[in-house]
Structure 1
Amino acid sequence: MEATETETQTTQTVNPHHTVLDISKSCARIRPKLSGQVRHLEAAMSLKKGDEATGDLDEEALLEKLTPDEIAQLEIDLDDLDPKNAALPAGLRQKDQTKKVPTGAFRRDSLLQFLEKEALETEENEDLVPFTREKRGTPYIPKVQAAKLVPRDVAPRMAEPGAELPAVEMGSDVTLEPELEEALANASEAEICDLAAILGMHTLMSNKQYYEALSSNAIVNKEGLNSVVHPDECKVFPEEPPNPTDVEQSLKRIRDNDQTLTQVNLNNIADISMSTMIEVAEALKSNGHVEKFSLVGTCCNDSVGLVLADMLKVNGVLKSLNIESNCLTALGVLAIVEALKKNDRLTELKLDNQRQQLGNRVEMDMAAMVEGNKSLLRFGYQFSSPGPRSRVANAITRNNDLVRKKRLENVKNA
């Protein structure tokens, strides 16, 4: 009976013409969505019953049986909205369901005044324990500070609640010799700053003042303890002068086997060509006076390295070869190191800082070749693996020990 009376009252207060129009519009709007839901429902029922034949559902009959409130709720349920999507504006996350007529334009000041008035008129919850300014518990006193500052007759009273620490004069018992007191009284702030640096009080000054005071015997601090850190002046260093070696003249002297030419330095010559470096290496094969050859930073490649390896096999005079900071690969480096098997004159070989890393396998081969040489005393290469590094170090130590024993035998025989 209550439901019948409610429906009768609703029908009397609502215009039937408008209600029919609203229902027809709502039905036309939700019919496509309802068709999709019906298809999903039919598919689910067919799967559940083992693909048995199911009768078609009449959408029009379903819509005719719905009341206006049920149609409105169905339209809300079928609306494709995502209330949890924070990337969407608030107006697109859910449907506007406000049915009230707006009372007027939005006024921010009136809203703030209403909220402030509402907050002031709202009674606050009473505290379970009222707030008081009473201090409770025992005050914490560090043990070191208590031992230094609190006398023995006062210490038992400090444990009582509300007790305060008595004032004790600091530094009254510190006495110095008359000479020291006079020196400190007449010392300037710069001298005190140097003294603090010597005593290790680095927090009272800048790092520059601290290290200058430690490294100098004189008073170097002129600004005192409360100084401002100033930037250091930029030190300009002159560029390294270019290599003055005349490549053509050196090549001619090597070919002529000049007796006065014992060292050839072609380091960091930018305009030297690969063909020229190959000619110099070929000329060293028949030279009998050059003992030191350096070719650092010239971008020589494996073609030069292979010629240098052939030169080491036949040259019996060269003692030092430096080809660091170049573009050699594993092919050129292994060829040079392998040539040490047929060379018993070379004592120094530097191969470090090439363009690419050689790898563990190449380093193991290098270590095996160095172990077979008895004349090499210095080997310049930074190994990346500890195994080859240890083997080469042991081989170099062995060769140096052999030279030392040979020198001692010569001294005894002499």
Structure 2
Amino acid sequence: MSKKDDPRDIDEDAILKGLSPEELDQLEEELQELDPENDILPAGFRQRDQTRKSPTGPFDREALMKHLRKQALEYEDRNDLVPFINEKKGKAFIPKPGSGHIPMDEQITLEPELEEALKNATDAEMCDIAAILGMYTLMSNKQYYDALGCHGIIANTEGINSVVKPDQYKIYPDDPPNPTNVEETLQKIQTNDSSLTQINLNNIKDLPIPTLKEIFQAMKTNSNVRTLSIAATHSSDPVAFAAAEMLQANKSLQSLNIESNFITGVGMKAIIKALAVNTTLTEIKIDNQRQQLGDSVEMEIAKMLEKNPTIVRIGYHFTQQGPRTRAAMAITRNTDILRQQRVR
């Protein structure tokens, strides 16, 4: 082969420029990589395009639908190879009522003494025997565990037939409503009453948001309250912002509980930022909000605990491993610092 015929010297660009649009389409179709055996690929990647045809006439949707309906009505139904016949084959075994018939392959032969004992056993005794043998499906849970817990005494008095009866569960009354007088409590906070050291406003559903904000506003200058709890009071971010302002000014509060409320990550970040400068709070509970606080808030909590040496208890379930580990190490360090201070 001469040097002139070397395929590496062919100018592909010049050849492509000289091809017509029809020739280019034909070349593209020939070079197209198809996989007809792959059922996962769409049809366009498994076979060549067969839609490039000249139209035979204008498209008429109504005429097409009319033709399809006519074709469907004229098409004869295919007859079944085997016609359906409602016929039951074989003879069903129906035991006679009260006959007590047991198939031969299921009959069990017992010792005469055991056979006589079971024959004379009462229904209650049979229930205890079933429990001992582990046949717990024949009785209720209460009957089963009563039989296992008694020795030498017939525990079940109703027998196996009582399984259809539900167990009697104890009904516990609802918790009484919170008896705290909110107006009186607010007045004591504002007057810095020395008799008020704990505030419990938990589960007061109709507590207005402005009232909660007034409580936190009054707590800025209060020096006697040590514990404040507003769990399950439908508190939201405005209350969280008021609590953050209180934490920056208050120098006596030791425990704050704001669990089970509607505080979002924005309001929680304000509280966390305030805790970075607070030096008296030792316990904070913020878990079980209406929505998850998020990874960034959890990381802010961990950073705050690393910078704040006074918090030794935090009520929050971390969802991420990193912040959880850092928070646990910070709480351990703070607890050790508190222990050393007590020893001194």
Who is 2:295 aligned against?
360
Shift of the 330–385 alpha-carbon distance from structure 1 to 2, 3 Å rule, reads same
Which residue identity lines up with residue 289 of structure 2 in the other structure?
Answer: Q
Aligned to 1:400: 335
Cα deviation 1:38-75 (Å, max 9, x = unaligned): x949xxxxxxxxxxxxxxxxxxxxxxxxxxxxxxxxxx
- Structure 1 counterpart of 2:141, which letter? N
SS at match of 2:164: coil
For the 8 Å contact 1:337–1:370, the answer to whether it is kept is no
Report deviation, 1:281.
0.6
Aligned residues: 255
Q: 1:247 aligns with which of 169, 179, 182?
A: 182
Structure 2 gap ranges (5+): 1-54, 58-65, 77-82, 84-106
Deviation (angstroms), 1:226: 4.6
Residues 191 and 324 of structure 1, relative CA distance in 2, 3 Å threshold: same
Q: Check whether the contact 1:290–1:318 (CA below 8 A) recurs between aligned residues.
A: yes
Q: Does structure 1 residue 275 correspond to structure 2 residue 257?
A: no
Could you tell me which of 134, 137, 140 is aligned with 1:206? 140
SS of structure 2 residue aligned to 1:342: coil
SS of the residue 1:309 aligns to: helix
Partner of 2:305: 370
1:92 to 74, 88, 96: 74
Does the 8 Å CA contact 2:272/2:300 hold for their aligned counterparts? no
Please say which structure displays the higher CA radius of gyration.
Answer: 1
Residue 190 (str. 1) matches residue 172 (str. 2): no
Q: Distance in 1 between matches of 2:108 and 2:284?
A: 72
Deviation at residue 192 of structure 1 after TM alignment: 4.5
Given that 1:81 and 1:92 are in contact with CA atoms closer than 8 Å, whether structure 2 keeps it comes out as no
The answer to whether structure 1 residue 305 and structure 2 residue 305 are counterparts is no
The one-letter code sitting in structure 2 at the alignment partner of 1:305 is A
**CA distance in 2: counterparts of 1:380 and 1:291, whole angstroms:** 17
Residue 327 of structure 1 pairs with residue 262 of structure 2: yes
Structure 1 residues 363 and 208 mapped into 2: Cα distance closer, same or farther (>3 Å)?
A: same
Tell me the TM-score normalized by structure 1: 0.53
CA distance in 1, matches of 2:261, 2:138: 50
Asked which structure has the greater RCO (Cα within 8 Å, sep 6+), the reply is 2
1:284 aligns with 2:219: yes
> For residue 297 of structure 1, what is the amino acid of its counterpart?
A
AA partner of residue 210 (structure 1) = Y
- 1:207-226 to structure 2, matched below 5 A, reads 207-214=141-148, 219-226=154-161
Specify the code of the residue in structure 2 equivalent to 1:313: Q
Shift of 1:366: 1.6
Instruction: Output the amino acid matched with 1:221.
Output: N
Contact 1:309 1:335 in 2 (8 A): yes
Amino acid at match of 2:165: H
SS of alignment partner, residue 156 of structure 2: coil
Partner of 1:379: 314
Contact 1:265–1:294 (8 Å) recurs in 2:
yes
**1:169–1:316 Cα change, 3 Å:** closer
Cα gap change, 1:279/1:188 in structure 2, threshold over 3 Å: closer, same or farther?
Answer: same
1:169/1:365 CA distance change after superposition, 3 Å: closer
- Post-superposition shift, 1:215? 5.8
Q: Which runs of 5+ in 1 are unaligned?
A: 1-38, 42-79, 95-114, 116-167
Distance in 2 of aligned mates of 1:311 and 1:284: 6
